[in-house]
Amino acid sequence: MFGGPPMDRLRPLGGRKHVVVVGAGIIGASIAFQLSRRSIPVTVLDDGEPGYGASSHSFAWINATGKSPDYYHYFNRRSMDMWARFARELDADIGLTWGGYLQWESTQDGADRLRAQLAELHFWGYPCRFINEREIQDLEPGIVTGPVLAAAINDVEGHVDTQKIVDACLLRASEAGAIVRTNSGATGFKMTQNANGETVVEGVETEMGEIPCDTVVLAAGVATTALAAMVGVDLPQQYSPGVVVRTDPQPPLLQKVSVLYAPQIEPGHSEIHLRQMANGVVQIGEGSQESLNRDDSQGHANDLLDRATKYLPALSGAKVSPVPVGFRPMPRDGFPAIGFCGSAPNVYMALMHSGVTLAPLAAELATMEIVDGIRVDALLPFRPDRFSSKGS
Ligand SMILES: Cc1cc2nc3c(=O)[nH]c(=O)nc-3n(C[C@H](O)[C@H](O)[C@H](O)COP(=O)(O)OP(=O)(O)OC[C@H]3O[C@@H](n4cnc5c(N)ncnc54)[C@H](O)[C@@H]3O)c2cc1C
């Protein structure tokens, strides 16, 4: 129903065959790390510096709130639950911070939406609950909420430092023998016909020459669509710019909760979300996790900080820097695109939004599919072939 190559085209990679991972953001780096744990020889290519793509612009919230329908929620949740193990496997400081998520609403519409969202999350067994204004104050005395018509909290969400994860994954992969080439992107692919008459990639072309490969992973974020087209795969994306600004390091602002989602200050403004990283820097974004925003001016950064300061007065001395607009890797229907494709049987696609939440699971499942030649049912709704008329 959802496409993907038929089982008879899936073969274990086995042996010590060579995988080229194109893209060293959180997804490519995590996959390279997992492949190298299975002793697969890996070359990682990035046309810039590792982690400087969407991963460096991310709000990096590990969450399953706001992820519908049910199978997508469970997919995110499964990855959330893997983060502690992923951190242990990496054995490095990755800025992993738990504490949960607090949201409150000050308008009737907002309160109705929040109640409907909680009803759905409760139906799926997600451990979130309503709380009142007094409980918010007891939990987080530094917050000035304004009117509260509905509020909800969960204890299970958190955030990470994406650059630390990318660096840790590549370090561990390198220690296991992986080659990491920066400022050296894939410029094309050398195609050939294999013994089964299939068109496969036998080499990844770069400005420094061709790298022979048995399997290619395309994890190049927004650039994945253009690279996929080079191997005959249609992988359309939405245009999804976003802006998350950063303050200078601040003393701890929150006692327990790790991510705040606060209502609009006045009509015409959107909601804001914020988190404080382990190094004290506060990240502030607006709207939902998918909201489109291209304003990376200092004025907009100041406005976001002003709005955040109304809710967290301790931010009043903070300085904020604009961060250039980031572009979410976003398949056209908003869901991940993970797996081999019928028309390019040795090219594995790994393109997704919420790639921070999903990195541990996506990397583990991709590695199983690539190395063991198996097909994971949990990935069926997310096969890249769903976009392709050539999909099988
Ligand atoms: C504003 C914003 C907020 C977000 N908030 C969240 C959030 O709260 N929670 C969450 O889970 N997700 C969030 N996301 C999404 C998440 O950040 C992304 O899904 C994730 O970072 C994608 O990682 P990636 O490795 O696929 O892509 P990227 O980080 O973009 O990495 C792709 C890499 O490929 C390289 N590349 C490109 N072309 C080539 C080439 N030809 N050859 C070699 N290398 C190439 C690039 O240089 C880049 O380093 C957010 C994203 C944005 C932009």
pLDDT in tens, 132-175: 999 999 999 999 999 999 999 999 999 999 999 999 999 999 99
Tokens of 16: 């010590």
* Residue-level pLDDT at 392: 41
240 lines ligand 1 (CB under 6 A): no
Among 354, 358, 298, smallest CA distance to 322 is for 298
Instruction: Please name the residue whose Cα sits nearest to atom 18 of ligand 1.
Output: 355
User: What is the model's pLDDT at position 273?
Assistant: 95
Give residues with Cβ within 8 angstroms of 116, minimum separation 6: none
Tell the residue nearest (CA) to atom 20 of ligand 1.
355
- Best mutation site among 328, 349, 358, 361 for ligand 1 pocket (most ligand atoms within 8 Å of CB): 328
pLDDT of residue 1: 31
246 lines ligand 1 (CB under 6 A): no
Is the Cβ–Cβ distance between 200 and 194 less than 8 Å? yes
**Quick one: tokens of 155?**
């204890």
> pLDDT of 2-60, one tens digit each?
333 333 334 556 556 899 999 999 999 999 999 999 999 999 999 999 999 999 999 99
192: part of which helix (H) or strand (E)?
Answer: strand 188-193
What is the predicted pLDDT for the residue at 304? 95
pLDDT given at position 16: 61
Tokens 């009117």 belong to 147
> pTM surpassing 0.85?
yes
Residue 339 vs residues 52, 246, 321, 345, 352: alpha-carbon distances, Å: 24, 34, 38, 10, 12
What is the phi-psi region of residue 326: left when phi exceeds 0, alpha when psi lies from -120 to 50, beta otherwise?
A: beta
Among 356, 361, 382, say which to mutate for ligand 1: greatest number of ligand atoms within 8 Å of CB: 356
Contacts for 270 with CB less than 8 Å, ≥ 6 apart = 264, 286, 287, 291
Number of the ligand 1 atom closest to the C-alpha atom of 23: 34
The ligand 1 atom at the shortest distance from the C-alpha of residue 162 is: 21
Tell me the CA–centroid distance for residue 341 and ligand 1, in Å.
21
Dist. CA 94–CA 79, nearest whole Å: 16
**pLDDT tens-digit profile of 71-123?**
999 999 999 999 999 999 999 999 999 999 999 999 999 999 999 999 999 99
Q: Is the pLDDT of residue 65 over 80?
A: yes
Residue 371 — pLDDT band, cuts 50, 70, 90? very high
- Return d(Cα 233, Cα 225) in angstroms, integer: 8
205: Cβ–Cβ under 8 A, 6 or more apart, which residues?
186, 187, 188, 189, 190
Query: What's the gap in Å between 8 CA and the centre of ligand 1?
Result: 32
Tell me what pLDDT residue 154 has.
Answer: 97
Average pLDDT, the chain: 93
The answer to whether the CB of 356 is under 6 A from ligand 1 is yes
The pLDDT value given to residue 107: 93
Please list, in sequence order, all residues whose beta carbon lies within 8 angstroms of the beta carbon of residue 92, skipping any fewer than 6 positions away: 164, 167, 168, 171, 172
Q: How far is the CA of 79 from the centre of ligand 1 (A)?
A: 17
Of 294 and 251, more confident: 251
User: Atom of ligand 1 at shortest distance to CA of 352?
Assistant: 19
pLDDT of residue 4: 38
Task: Please give the share of the chain, as a percent, with pLDDT higher than 70.
Answer: 95
Strand order in the sheet with 259-262: 128-130, 150-154, 101-105, 259-262, 272-276, 282-286, 245-247, 320-321
- What's the pLDDT score for residue 6? 38
Predicted confidence at residue 389, as pLDDT, reads: 64
69: preceding bond cis by omega (within 30 degrees):
yes
Task: Determine the distance separating the centroid of ligand 1 and the alpha carbon of 257, expressed in angstroms.
Answer: 26
Residue ranges of the domains in the chain?
A: 7-57+162-239+330-387, 101-154+241-327
3-state secondary structure of 32: helix
- The winner for highest mean pLDDT among 214-228, 262-276, 294-308 is 214-228
**Is the per-residue pLDDT at 376 higher than 60?**
yes
| pLDDT tens, position by position, 329-349 | 999 999 999 999 988 999 999
Class of 101-154+241-327 in CATH: alpha beta
Of the candidate CATH numbers 3.20.20.80, 3.50.50.60, 3.40.50.10330, 3.40.50.300, the domain formed by 7-57+162-239+330-387 belongs to 3.50.50.60
Mean pLDDT (whole number) for 215-233: 98
Q: Does the pLDDT at position 267 exceed 80?
A: no
Which regions of 224-354 does DSSP assign to beta strands (E)? 241-242, 245-247, 259-262, 272-276, 282-286, 320-321, 326-327, 337-341, 344-351
Residue 186 has pLDDT above 60, yes or no: yes
The whole-number pLDDT of residue 29 equals 98
342 pocket-lining for ligand 1 (C-beta < 6 Å): no
Q: What is the pLDDT of residue 207?
A: 94
